[in-house]
């Protein structure tokens, strides 16, 4: 065994690369959350009215609600295939800490689902009439927020592994926990839109992300181990 491969960062990089490779082989699955995000945001002008002033005032909220729902949708199958074919069990048996391997997996998932959402957000925001000056904040806040959502949602997805799962169950568990992210993110966007400094919301999101990165892997490891029993 060469130490170069078995060091923890190297293994985490391998997991990350594996996740990306698998995801790019299934393009449609990668694109679905983004398409869902675009569709949901289209519903609001149709349901309310195409009046720019109204759309502008609800814009930040619409983008955030749609993004939260889209990232939940993307999370549902996060561990499913790896759990079915025993990959997760092998990870748990390996001499690497399971929590860190799962963290690498979630990080890859964020790059493949959260980042595309953040990249699409300015387009959606522009269509809803948000001013150009707020689009940068929207993108940054969504990138931070979707990372927290990926971590929280991963715990939920891991907890449903051994259960009679339903997609509603995941939403029931994760949505209450995700509400602070929604509040901080939407408020930061709202403040930027009105020309105020959005720093507070962004810092709070970043603080939440740090807390989630340090605590969530522990819960993830425990949750995945429960599913083996």
Q: What is the DSSP letter of 113?
A: I
Say if residues 67 and 142 touch (Cβ distance below 8 Å). yes
Q: Is 32 in the site for another protein (CB under 8 A)?
A: no
Q: Decide if residue 214 touches another protein (CB under 8 A).
A: no
Contact by Cβ (8 Å): 191, 138: no
Stretch that binds another protein, among 30-38, 44-52, 86-94, 170-178 (CB under 8 A): 170-178
Nearest-angstrom CA–CA distance, 225 and 189 = 38
Give the residue with the Cβ less far from another protein, 3 or 163: 163
Distance in angstroms (rounded) separating the CA atoms of residues 227 and 160? 8
Which of 152, 157, 202, 209 forms a contact with another protein (CB under 8 A)? 152
Q: Which of 30, 99, 173, 206 binds another protein (CB under 8 A)?
A: 173
- In terms of CB distance, is 13 or 226 closer to another protein? 226
Specify the residue, 120 or 142, whose C-beta has the smaller distance to another protein. Answer: 142
Spatial distance between the Cα atoms of 164 and 48, rounded to a whole number of angstroms = 37
Q: Does 50 bind another protein (CB under 8 A)?
A: no
> 88 near 82, Cβ under 8 Å?
yes
**Interatomic CA distance for residues 67 and 65, integer angstroms:** 5
CA distance 96 to 94: 5
Shortest Cβ distance from residue 221 to another protein (Å)? 10
Binding positions for another protein, rule: CB under 8 A: 152, 155-156, 159-160, 162-166, 169, 172-177, 179-180, 183-184, 187, 204, 208, 211, 215-216, 219, 222-223, 226-227, 229
């Amino acid at each position: 065994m060469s130490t170069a491969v078995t060091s923890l960062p190297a293994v985490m990089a391998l997991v990350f690369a594996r996740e990306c490779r698998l995801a790019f082989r299934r393009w449609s699955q990668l694109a679905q959350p983004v398409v869902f995000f675009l569709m949901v945001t289209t519903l609001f002008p149709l349901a309310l009215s195409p009046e720019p002033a109204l759309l502008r005032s609800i814009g930040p909220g619409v983008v955030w609600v749609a993004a939260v729902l889209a990232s939940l949708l993307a999370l549902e199958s996060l561990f499913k295939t790896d759990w079915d074919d025993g990959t997760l069990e092998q990870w748990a048996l390996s001499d690497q800490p399971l929590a860190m391997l799962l963290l690498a997996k979630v990080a890859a998932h964020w790059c493949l689902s959260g980042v595309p959402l953040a990249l699409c957000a300015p387009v959606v925001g522009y269509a809803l009439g948000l001013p150009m000056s707020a689009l940068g904040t929207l993108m940054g806040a969504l990138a931070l927020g979707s990372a927290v959502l990926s971590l929280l949602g991963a715990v939920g997805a891991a907890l449903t592994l051994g259960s009679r799962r339903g997609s509603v169950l995941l939403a029931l568990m994760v949505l209450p926990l995700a509400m602070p992210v929604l509040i901080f993110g939407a408020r930061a966007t709202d403040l930027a839109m009105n020309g105020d400094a959005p720093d507070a919301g962004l810092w709070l999101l970043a603080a939440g992300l740090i807390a989630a990165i340090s605590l969530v892997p522990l819960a993830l490891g425990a949750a995945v181990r429960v599913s083996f029993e």
